[in-house]
Structure 1
Amino acid sequence: MSDTLDPTRCPLCGQSNRCTQADPERQGESCWCFEARVDPAALERISPEQRNRTCLCPRCAANLPPEND
């Protein structure tokens, strides 16, 4: 994982986090995470430097294992 913070990428898996707050074309829309239950264990896996600065993707927020691509 890169040391550079990308607010459009999940800090755990590096995939798109689908965050509407980080997408200038979708400003004003509510993000999927506003209504989702985020697993506390997933939040604990985010480094302190990245907490409250980038969003998890839906898969990591649910603390599901990564998909095999």
Structure 2
Amino acid sequence: MPLNKSSLDPGLCPLCGGPNRCASETGRLTGQAQPPCWCMATPIPADVLARIPAPARGLACVCRRCAQAGQAAPAGGLL
């Protein structure tokens, strides 16, 4: 089934489908302030960002495991 914006779960990694543990999404869902998300301090390699399907770009964060899977040239944290 193709990924589209209406079926996208922002709490899941768009690469592996596992929980991304995004503090920003947790805050949005619970209405409670969260500490800064882990991704704000973790460089995410450009090759990892390039693998995110177009419909998920800017809508769902990758998980820490996928972010650290390709330790190439860092591109930044927030997607």
Q: TM-score range by the shorter chain?
A: 0.7 to 0.9
- Matched residue, 1:51: 57
Structure 2 gaps, min length 5: 71-79
Q: Report the counterpart of residue 22 of structure 1 in structure 2.
A: 25
Give the counterpart letter for 2:57 in structure 1: R
Residue pair 1:10, 1:17 contacting (<8 A) in 2 also: yes
Structure label with greater radius of gyration: 2
Q: Percent identity?
A: 38
State TM-score, norm by structure 2: 0.71
Q: Distance in 2 between matches of 1:2 and 1:60?
A: 20
More helix by share: 2
Instruction: Give the residue type in structure 2 aligned to 1:16.
Output: P
Q: Which residue of 2 aligns with 1:31?
A: 37
CA distance in 2, matches of 1:57, 1:51: 14
Q: 1:67 is matched with which residue?
A: none
Gaps of 5+ in 1: 65-69
